[in-house]
């Protein structure tokens, strides 16, 4: 029988609408005890760290449960400027990186074409993203283009320990491991940023936690940043909030809303990875299951298409009438969550919002309903409301919890409401090649832009760069683009080499 345990949580579970930064009462040079470490730093941003569970339970039982922070490790070059689970796993991580390189043609082409020019020479990039084999290819590409990098993870469950070890062995200061506690998460970010004699001038962020940590804790450092590249809905929303308040003192690039990110990472990636994440955690069959997908943006569209193709009966909730009409035209029934919550077998959130699934919804769900999130933030499902004395939590397997009501009803909660695909499975490498190349080009553009081109605001990636990213991936399919004749280009009023669509065009 799995171990049963009850959680008692004191305090206000309400998540404030505006970005809040809790004062960190713990100084990082005063090491907490091993027992107390998980309860510290309740959060600067609940989007990445709102968790009460034991991080160790999410790692393999054979792993050494000693915190990496308590280990003294060095790579083969004698450097100890990193903190990973086990540096001895580096060889295995290197193999995974080499496999990923085969499916990331654009990044490898960019590395080959630009490494002689070193367009990022002098760039000091601090990054906070998922640390996977694909991210490793991006980091090593940035290094080949001349940048110095320091890295932390944007999600406490998505790090591949062997990949982090391989990066540390290669000389990258990486501070991340799978199953970090909340305090570990912020400690790792601080170790990336707070380095004597090292001033970052570029930020690559996924979710906005790194950006806001620097903004709050190191304001003088933040003012010296030359540019920020952000790839998530959550992080972009935060940047626009800062910009609107007049507090964004550096230019930022919104990669999330670039065409190559929206259409490929959000749509095609989620179309494949939603099934993978659900299968690995629940072993369920999709045919005939009733599923409600909250949100019909690009992520929601991908999830719905995949589940429909597997024979599921799919409902959609949406606030935007345009997205709602798209869902109807695609053959999905548009509902309010309250209308179907008692009958559905699976609830999937992908809105980027908060409290989409509330305690009231959770109370009304049928027995064995599966609840998961495909958005970046873990704010979409009100998991905190489930940490009450009358409910029992039962760990089934890694990333799978039964939450049991007094009458015996139970729901199946995946990854504690965090991002399902990267927490519970993997995502297609080829799609991540598109996103990673977009990020690399955005960093190059911001770093090399002449003074005055970008003001203290949030910008979209230039259309020409989106097209360039797409063109780098076409040879993989032996695809051949048609070229405009001079007469045709003149007729359309276009340059023969692009861009081929105006900025307002919706693909």
Report the binding-site residues for NAD(+).
Answer: 297-302, 318, 421
Q: 414: buried, middle or exposed (CB in 10 Å: 19+, 13-18, 0-12)?
A: buried
Asked whether residue 285 falls in the same domain as residue 205, the answer is no
The answer as to whether 15 is a domain residue is: no
The answer as to whether 336 is a domain residue is: yes
Asked whether residue 317 falls in the same domain as residue 435, the answer is no
The secondary structure of 243-297 as a DSSP string is HHTT---S-EEE-TTSHHIIIIIIIIIHHHHHHHHHHHHH----TT-EEEEE--S
Compute the mean pLDDT over every residue in the chain, rounded to the nearest whole number.
86
Percentage of the chain lying above the pLDDT 70 cut: 87
Asked whether residue 324 falls in the same domain as residue 232, the answer is no
The answer as to whether 28 is a domain residue is: no
pLDDT recorded at residue 186: 96
Residue 297 scores a pLDDT above 70: yes
pLDDT recorded at residue 37: 41
The answer as to whether 57 is a domain residue is: no
For residue 236, give the CATH number of its domain: 3.40.50.1480
| Closest-CA residue to 48 (of 200, 248, 198, 208) | 208
Does residue 257 or residue 203 have the better pLDDT?
Answer: 203
Q: What is the pLDDT of residues 479-489, one digit of tens each?
A: 999 999 999 99
Asked whether residue 277 falls in the same domain as residue 402, the answer is yes
| Closest-CA residue to 50 (of 382, 420, 370) | 382
- As a whole number of angstroms, the distance between CA 252 and CA 243 comes to 10
Residue 153 scores a pLDDT above 50: yes
| Closest-CA residue to 290 (of 271, 305, 308, 263) | 308
Which pLDDT band, with edges at 50, 70 and 90, does 503 fall under?
confident
The answer as to whether 48 is a domain residue is: no
Report the binding-site residues.
Answer: 132, 206, 231, 261, 265, 297-302, 318, 421
pLDDT recorded at residue 506: 77
Report the binding-site residues for substrate.
Answer: 132, 206, 231, 261, 265
Q: Range of 200's domain?
A: 68-257+428-477
Domain count, the chain: 2
For residue 310, give the CATH number of its domain: 3.40.50.720
The mean pLDDT of 70-89, rounded to a whole number, is 94
Asked whether residue 208 falls in the same domain as residue 272, the answer is no
Q: How many CB atoms lie within 10 A of CB 314?
A: 24
Does residue 156 or residue 361 have the better pLDDT?
Answer: 361
Q: What is the pLDDT of residues 7-48, one digit of tens each?
A: 444 444 443 333 343 444 344 444 444 444 433 333 334 444
pLDDT recorded at residue 29: 43
pLDDT recorded at residue 43: 36
The mean pLDDT of 167-196, rounded to a whole number, is 95
> Measured at the alpha carbon of residue 257, what is the angle toward residues 255 and 263, in degrees to the nearest 5?
105
The mean pLDDT of 398-420, rounded to a whole number, is 94
Residue 111 and residue 178 in contact, taking contact as beta carbons nearer than 8 Å: no
Asked whether residue 213 falls in the same domain as residue 276, the answer is no
- As a whole number of angstroms, the distance between CA 339 and CA 282 comes to 25
Asked whether residue 351 falls in the same domain as residue 379, the answer is yes
Which pLDDT band, with edges at 50, 70 and 90, does 64 fall under?
low
The answer as to whether 7 is a domain residue is: no
Please state the φ and ψ torsions of residue 233, each to the nearest 5 degrees.
Answer: -60, -45
Q: For 38-42, 102-106, 345-349, 414-418, which range has the lowest pLDDT when averaged over its residues?
A: 38-42
Asked whether residue 98 falls in the same domain as residue 193, the answer is yes
Asked whether residue 322 falls in the same domain as residue 307, the answer is yes
Please state the φ and ψ torsions of residue 419, each to the nearest 5 degrees.
Answer: -55, 115
| Closest-CA residue to 188 (of 196, 178, 203, 202) | 178
Distances in Å between the Cα of 377 and the Cα atoms of 131, 274, 341, 349, 350 are 17, 16, 22, 10, 9
Asked whether residue 239 falls in the same domain as residue 315, the answer is no
Asked whether residue 451 falls in the same domain as residue 336, the answer is no
Asked whether residue 289 falls in the same domain as residue 196, the answer is no
The mean pLDDT of 376-393, rounded to a whole number, is 92
pLDDT recorded at residue 260: 84
The answer as to whether 169 is a domain residue is: yes
The mean pLDDT of 300-316, rounded to a whole number, is 97
Task: Pick from 47-51, 246-250, 376-380 the range whose average pLDDT is largest.
Answer: 246-250
The answer as to whether 383 is a domain residue is: yes
Q: What is the pLDDT of residues 439-487, one digit of tens each?
A: 999 999 999 999 889 999 999 888 888 999 999 999 989 999 999 999 9
Which pLDDT band, with edges at 50, 70 and 90, does 264 fall under?
confident
């Amino acid at each position: 029988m799995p171990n049963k345990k009850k959680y008692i949580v004191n305090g206000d579970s309400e998540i404030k609408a505006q970005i809040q930064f809790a004062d960190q009462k713990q100084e990082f040079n005063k090491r907490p005890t091993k027992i107390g470490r998980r309860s510290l730093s309740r959060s600067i941003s609940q989007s990445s760290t709102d968790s009460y569970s034991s991080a160790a339970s999410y790692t393999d039982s054979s792993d050494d449960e000693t915190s990496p922070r308590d280990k003294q490790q060095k790579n083969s070059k004698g450097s100890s400027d990193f903190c990973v689970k086990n540096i001895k796993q580096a060889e295995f991580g290197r193999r995974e990186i080499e496999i990923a390189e085969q499916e990331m043609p654009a990044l490898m082409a960019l590395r080959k074409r630009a490494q002689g020019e070193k367009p990022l020479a002098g760039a000091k990039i601090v990054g906070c993203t998922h640390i996977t084999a694909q991210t490793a290819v991006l980091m090593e590409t940035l290094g080949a283009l001349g940048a110095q990098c320091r890295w932390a993870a944007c999600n406490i469950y998505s790090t591949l320990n062997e990949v982090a070890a391989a990066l540390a062995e290669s000389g990258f200061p990486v501070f991340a491991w799978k199953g970090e506690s909340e305090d570990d998460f912020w400690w790792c970010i601080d170790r990336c940023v707070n380095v004597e004699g090292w001033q970052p001038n570029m930020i690559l962020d996924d979710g906005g936690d790194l950006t806001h940590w620097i903004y709050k804790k190191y304001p003088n450092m933040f003012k010296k940043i030359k540019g920020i590249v952000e790839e998530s809905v959550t992080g972009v929303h935060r940047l626009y909030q800062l910009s609107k308040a007049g507090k964004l003192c550096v230019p930022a690039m919104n990669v999330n809303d670039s065409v190559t990110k929206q259409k490929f990472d959000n749509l095609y990636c989620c179309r494949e990875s939603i099934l993978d994440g659900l299968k690995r955690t629940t072993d369920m069959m999709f045919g005939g299951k009733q599923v409600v997908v909250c949100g019909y943006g690009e992520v929601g569209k991908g999830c719905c298409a995949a589940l429909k193709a597997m024979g599921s009966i799919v409902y959609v909730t949406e606030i935007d009438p345009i997205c709602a009409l798209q869902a109807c035209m695609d053959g999905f029934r548009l509902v309010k969550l309250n209308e179907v919550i008692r009958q559905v077998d699976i609830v999937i959130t992908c809105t980027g919002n908060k409290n989409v699934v509330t305690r009231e919804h959770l109370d009304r769900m049928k027995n064995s309903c599966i609840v998961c999130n495909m958005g970046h933030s873990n704010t979409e499902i009100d998991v905190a409301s489930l940490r009450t004395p009358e409910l029992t939590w039962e760990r089934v397997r890694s990333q799978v919890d039964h939450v049991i009501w007094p009458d015996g009803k139970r729901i199946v909660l995946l990854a504690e409401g965090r991002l399902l695909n990267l927490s519970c499975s993997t995502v297609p490498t080829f799609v991540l090649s598109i996103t990673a190349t977009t990020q690399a080009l955005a960093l190059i553009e911001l770093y090399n832009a002449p003074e005055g081109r970008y003001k203290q605001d949030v910008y979209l990636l230039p259309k020409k760069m989106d097209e360039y990213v797409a063109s780098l991936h076409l040879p993989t399919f032996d695809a051949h683009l048609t070229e405009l004749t001079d007469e045709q280009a003149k007729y359309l009023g276009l340059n023969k080499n692009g861009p081929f669509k105006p900025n307002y065009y919706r693909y």
